[in-house]
Amino acid sequence: MQRTLAVAYGLVAYLIFFATFLWLVAFLAGLPFVPTTVDDGVNGQPLAQAMVVDLALIALFGLQHSVMARPRFKAAWTRIVPSSLERSTYVLAASLMLALLLWFWHPIEGTVWDVRGTAAEPVLWTVFAIGWAVLFISTWLINHFELFGLKQSWNHGRPADPGPAKLREPMFYRYVRHPLYLGFSIAFWSVPFMSIGHLLFVIGMQVYILIGIAHEERDLRAHFGSAYDDYSARVGKLLPGIGRRARPTA
């Protein structure tokens, strides 16, 4: 019964994540079938107030992601939540924080660029789709079900045997260390209409991505040791060949 409940919990967390993720895609694309979009939300607010609210929402989203992903927090958190449900709980919390951001987002008028109706529009929509495709494929390259907690909840109550840590470099990971973040970055910027509010969202999330990478690299280096140092020296951070780290000296 406990395992059945654990699997159900993991599945519900995953489905909530997937629905919220689709909302994010539609939010940025300005599609009409979601509750809010980046340029159509809470209106009539003064510019300064809208910017403060939007930046606070991004900061809360980033804080939740960064804190709950840290090994020290996980060690403390798994004293309360079973380790098999820790990842699903993280996914659920992240999804709820993202939904909060999307729901309460304040649009800000003003055009940064607008190439709708030109030859550039289908090109940008294609690149937009490519960004999400890179992101989605990357989750499968590193184990989609483990990344979103389904594997852990399925194994609830079974002896854990993670085995020795191995650093793999499948497909995109041979060229960039963080293809998940690269996919987000591509999609965030590749839209034919960029309002000031949309630009604020993109810049805020891009800053979070860079901060998240810094924390993640520290954790990966602690986990994989010299293997990750060698990988970082060969492979770029977000773009091929760019952001490689010098090997630490003895």
**SS3 for 195?**
strand
Structure tokens given for 39: 């340029």
By residue range, what is the domain housing residue 49? 1-158+167-234
Structure tokens given for 247: 């090997």
**Cβ contact 98:17 at 8 Å:** no
**Cβ contact 184:176 at 8 Å:** no
Using CB atoms within 10 A of its CB, is residue 119 exposed (0-12), middle (13-18) or buried (19+)? exposed
**Cβ contact 216:56 at 8 Å:** no
250, part of any domain: no
215, part of any domain: yes
pLDDT at 29: 96
Alpha helices by DSSP H, listed for the chain, are 2-29, 47-68, 71-77, 83-104, 120-141, 144-147, 150-154, 179-189, 196-224, 226-234
Q: How far is CA 20 from CA 27, 92, 163, in A?
A: 10, 10, 33
pLDDT at 189: 97
129, part of any domain: yes
241, part of any domain: no
What residues does 242 pair with on adjacent strands? 239
245, part of any domain: no
What is the spatial distance between Cα 193 and Cα 205, in angstroms, rounded to a whole number? Answer: 18
pLDDT at 41: 66
11, part of any domain: yes
250 residues of the chain, pLDDT tens digit each: 788 999 999 999 999 999 999 999 999 999 989 999 999 865 667 889 999 999 999 999 999 988 998 888 999 989 999 999 999 999 999 999 999 999 999 999 999 999 999 999 999 999 999 999 999 999 999 999 999 999 999 998 777 666 666 888 999 999 999 999 999 999 999 999 999 999 999 999 999 999 999 999 999 999 999 999 999 999 999 999 898 887 766 5
- Measure CA 18 to chain center: 12
Kindly report the number of other CB atoms within 10 A of residue 120's CB atom: 12
pLDDT at 162: 62
pLDDT at 42: 58
243, part of any domain: no
Q: How many domains does the chain have?
A: 1
244, part of any domain: no
**SS3 for 145?**
helix
